[in-house]
Structure 1
Amino acid sequence: MCAASLPDTATFPFETAVVAGVGLIGGSVALGLRQRLLARRVIGYDANPEVLREAQALGVVDEIRTSPGEWLRAADLVVLASPMRTLSPLARDLAPFLSPAALVTDVGSVKSGITAEMEALGVRQFVAGHPMAGSERGGVTHARAALLENAVWVLTPGDHTPLTALSRARTLVEALGAAPVVMPPDAHDALVATISHLPYLASLALTHMVARDERLSLLAAGGFRDLTRVASGDPRMSRDMVVENKAALRGALARFRRQLERLEADLDDPEELLAAAAEGKRTRDSLPVVKRSLLPPKHDLVVAVPDQPNQIGAVTQALGASGVNIKDIEVLAIREEGGALRLGLESPEEVSRAAEILRAEGFEVRGRG
């Protein structure tokens, strides 16, 4: 069941793209692929035939499939976009049929588990991803390509991710209008535990307080509604999200408790409480509005690497073992004999220290302003 075909002479970055899980984010990715002419045909895969029929009727996908099979071997791009609880089972279902050359990515909000799962399945061209975009209204009917524009899209390569796969994933994200940021899976999970999963639990706690005292609901107006907005998300999907990231979330909760205890102590010291309030206002007012969470520029170090397995892992492990924190990674070039990585670091001093460490490991490096 195909939509109107495009001219055979047209060229596309991908011939056949498969979006597995055609909901809000998966549907938005599929629309982006179609509207920006990034794939000749987009196939929607979902266990729910009604969702697929709706997606095709809305022009989100060209074809629909409800079960895996040999048809998957034609795909040169596969996007796993199902809910968190089904992401690993979905990967296990599709993996036996994937072409070794296909770029595979996902859009889940927790990265360590799916990265380990795909490595165990032997899917080498996998680059885990998380577009920091969404809506209170779910489902393919609310999907739109514009949802991804200007959004930060985190890519989290594993230790064995090929440089070519990371480069292709960055190019795809940029072509969809988003801003790629690269970091290790565990670093991503620790960050989203604080900026996404912790606020969800805080919203639940506040709304539960209102639910248990009906007098509070009479006064819970605009400010309270804004603060607790994320509690309106799908309960099951939100539950699965925080449970998947529970190790990192427990750490974030411990830090949050310490902050609350400090503020409680400041109630007896008005000047300290004023300083805390001023810091909170400065931080809140400095948050970007249009360019969602884009990171500030970092100091760069460029590393020449051979196009061999585990090169990203060798670089990050060497620096991590010495306490050097990598803020961003970019693949600058890929050639048959190798390529180059740009490492975004915190300061010129960190650049010098990282260069010394990597030279000792046999890498060629240079600074970049």
Structure 2
Amino acid sequence: MSDRAVSETPPPLFDTAVVAGVGLIGGSVALGLRQRFLARRVVGLDASMDVLREAEALGVVDEVRAGPGEWLREADLVVLAAPMRALEPLARELAPFLNPGALVTDVGSVKSGIAAEMERLGVRHFVPGHPMAGSERGGVTHARAALLENAVWVLTPTDHTPLTALSRARSLVEHLGAAPVVMPPAAHDDLVATISHLPYLASLALTHMVARDERLSLLAAGGFRDLTRVASGDPRMSRDMIVENKEALRFALERFRRQLERLDADLDEPEELLAAAYEGKRTRDSLPVVKRSLLPQKHDLVVAVPDRPNQIGAVTQALGAEGVNIKDIEVLAIREEGGALRLGLESPEEVQRAAGILTDVGFEVRGRS
């Protein structure tokens, strides 16, 4: 156990990763890259110094930069994570400094525009992406690597996307714990218009009805709050998202109007309304439940392990010898050269103690948010 070479950290997928826009999603990607040992160095790029200071203080990134420059050529992964309206201007600002061989992706919720812009800019190894994850609470303070776990992450290559770039993007997504789904940009935009952007407009319409009649607010309990949850998102970011996809959204709105008209007609046909209710229940009950972070995040410790025999045993034996009780263990990512383990422990104090024990015997460890 004293031979430190036995516990060397496996090589990362990327040497230098840059996350441009360190908010909720960008910060979560950065945390995933760091905690799963996927990048040797994670650099946060943001126009706001306050955001950068917070990201650095929280351990979301290793370094911070306030603007692009020649230093960007060191990056072999660049993730564009700015809000929708700022995404294309950010791409134009960064493009002259990108390493031609770097994998570049984004996390925007509308794909056709940024895909076309990056092709115009000549960024060859760009793979548009959209992790289907989020929260009403924005900002780097609420970033969590676990936000991306088990989430569907849509990748939307164009006809000009190299297969090698798509393969690398898929590998990145999988190692972050998400499930990649590949489709063309336009198909993605049509689908999210219905399952994401339309519900936001419906939530706005319902909340506006309550706002204009004080009596309604007295009865707006749990069901109404659940139905209108997305209206609590950042108004400006939500506006930019749906305006960017307005053509596909108008088509979705027209389909929605037809559904409402059909239900209106069914009010006079109880059996038809019952059939519609059964169809709605079957559809809603069949939707997959995405489970994330079953253990309290603050009780987790991530350990880098090389791909050699008995590494899991070495970790558990080292902790067991010191009386540390492992409540849960999960293999996060195993590459050809190794990967990482997540240990679920009983308390934050046990996390600290386990970290010290494993560091002493040569493992590299990181806390998990």
TM-score bracket for this pair, using the shorter chain length: 0.7 to 0.9
Query: Amino acid of the residue matched to residue 11 of structure 2?
Result: T
**1:208 correspondence with 2:208:** yes
Instruction: Tell me how far apart the structure 2 counterparts of residues 24 and 182 of structure 1 sit (CA, whole Å).
Output: 23
Instruction: Tell me how far apart the structure 2 counterparts of residues 19 and 102 of structure 1 sit (CA, whole Å).
Output: 13
How far does residue 10 in structure 1 lie from its aligned partner after superposition? 5.1
- Corresponding residue for residue 133 of structure 1: 133
Maintained 8 Å contact 1:72/1:98:
yes
Q: Secondary structure at the match of 1:12?
A: coil
- Corresponding residue for residue 86 of structure 1: 86
- Corresponding residue for residue 180 of structure 1: 180
- Corresponding residue for residue 226 of structure 1: 226
Instruction: Tell me how far apart the structure 1 counterparts of residues 212 and 42 of structure 2 sit (CA, whole Å).
Output: 48
| Structure 1 residues 219 and 65: alpha-carbon distance in aligned structure 2, compared to 1, 3 A threshold | same
Instruction: Tell me how far apart the structure 2 counterparts of residues 175 and 280 of structure 1 sit (CA, whole Å).
Output: 35
Instruction: Tell me how far apart the structure 2 counterparts of residues 291 and 66 of structure 1 sit (CA, whole Å).
Output: 35
- Corresponding residue for residue 105 of structure 1: 105
Instruction: Tell me how far apart the structure 2 counterparts of residues 214 and 43 of structure 1 sit (CA, whole Å).
Output: 49
* Structure with greater contact order relative to length (CA < 8 Å, sep ≥ 6): 2
Instruction: Tell me how far apart the structure 2 counterparts of residues 222 and 144 of structure 1 sit (CA, whole Å).
Output: 26
Q: How does 1:132-171 map to 2 (within 5 A)?
A: 132-171=132-171
CA deviation vs aligned residue, 1:234-274 (integer Å, no higher than 9, x gap): 00000000000001000000000000000001111111111
CA deviation vs aligned residue, 1:105-130 (integer Å, no higher than 9, x gap): 00000000000000000000000000
How far does residue 291 in structure 1 lie from its aligned partner after superposition? 6.0
Q: Secondary structure at the match of 1:101?
A: coil
- The alignment's TM-score, normalised by the length of structure 2, stands at 0.76
Instruction: Tell me how far apart the structure 2 counterparts of residues 204 and 224 of structure 1 sit (CA, whole Å).
Output: 12
CA deviation vs aligned residue, 1:280-316 (integer Å, no higher than 9, x gap): 0110111111269xxxxxxxxxxxxxxxxxxxxxxxx
**1:257 correspondence with 2:257:** yes
Maintained 8 Å contact 1:125/1:162:
yes
Q: How many residues were matched structurally?
A: 286
Q: Secondary structure at the match of 1:138?
A: coil
Maintained 8 Å contact 1:151/1:291:
no
- Corresponding residue for residue 280 of structure 1: 280
Q: CA RMSD in A?
A: 1.3
How far does residue 11 in structure 1 lie from its aligned partner after superposition? 1.5
- The alignment's TM-score, normalised by the length of structure 1, stands at 0.76
How far does residue 144 in structure 1 lie from its aligned partner after superposition? 0.8
Percentage of pairs with the same residue: 86
Q: How does 1:303-342 map to 2 (within 5 A)?
A: none
**1:199 correspondence with 2:194:** no
Maintained 8 Å contact 1:104/1:125:
yes
Instruction: Tell me how far apart the structure 1 counterparts of residues 252 and 28 of structure 2 sit (CA, whole Å).
Output: 30
Q: Secondary structure at the match of 1:61?
A: coil
Instruction: Tell me how far apart the structure 2 counterparts of residues 68 and 256 of structure 1 sit (CA, whole Å).
Output: 43
- The answer for unaligned runs of 5 or more in structure 2 is 1-6, 293-369
Instruction: Tell me how far apart the structure 2 counterparts of residues 154 and 117 of structure 1 sit (CA, whole Å).
Output: 18
CA deviation vs aligned residue, 1:115-171 (integer Å, no higher than 9, x gap): 000000000000000000111111101111011000000000011000000000000
Instruction: Tell me how far apart the structure 2 counterparts of residues 57 and 10 of structure 1 sit (CA, whole Å).
Output: 26
